[in-house]
């Protein structure tokens, strides 16, 4: 992941049952992931993957994201493999994900002070030693 003002800019990988009007996704330097498009689902089977996030944007545990499917509020599940899914069959409806954001700080920080990965932020060590 390059270190810049965005953190990371990539695109979703979509399943055959999904079309996205803007598959771009952004990881900010604050570890927030922002999705840029709405996703149309056709012949989607409940619990299967409809999109996958790039590796730098994946959490270490499941994240539950509220979103609207048409007029209905649904729970989108994001698993540690970066796969997005919902728990209902869908045919010909839009999942409104444009502007949805969530945090994946658990990927980059834990109870040990400092960064889990070398990308993105400086190590938070006072003694200048390597990890």
Please tell me the predicted confidence (pLDDT) of residue 5.
53
Q: Could you give the CA distance from residue 98 to residue 21 in angstroms, rounded to a whole number?
A: 9
pTM of the model: 0.79
Mean pLDDT of the region 10-25: 96
Q: Per-domain residue ranges for the chain?
A: 8-108
For residue 25, name the pLDDT band (cuts at 50, 70, 90): very high
Superfamily of 8-108 according to CATH: Phage tail base-plate Siphoviridae RBP, head domain (2.60.40.1830)
Three-state DSSP state, 106: helix
Mean pLDDT of the region 114-131: 48
52-106 pLDDT, tens digit each: 999 989 998 999 999 999 999 999 999 999 999 999 999 999 999 999 999 887 7
């Amino acid at each position: 992941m390059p270190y810049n003002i965005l953190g990371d800019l990539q695109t979703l990988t979509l399943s055959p049952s999904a079309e996205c009007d803007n598959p771009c996704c952004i990881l900010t330097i604050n570890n927030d992931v922002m999705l840029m498009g709405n996703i149309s689902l056709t012949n989607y089977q409940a619990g299967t993957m409809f999109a996958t996030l790039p590796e730098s944007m994946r959490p270490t545990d499941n994240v539950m994201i509220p979103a609207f499917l048409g007029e209905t509020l649904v729970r989108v599940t994001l698993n540690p493999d970066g796969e997005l899914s919902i728990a209902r069959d869908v045919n010909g409806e839009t999942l409104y994900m444009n502007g949805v954001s969530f945090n994946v700080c658990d990927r980059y920080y834990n109870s040990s002070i400092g960064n889990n990965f070398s990308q993105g932020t400086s190590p938070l060590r006072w003694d200048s030693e390597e990890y």
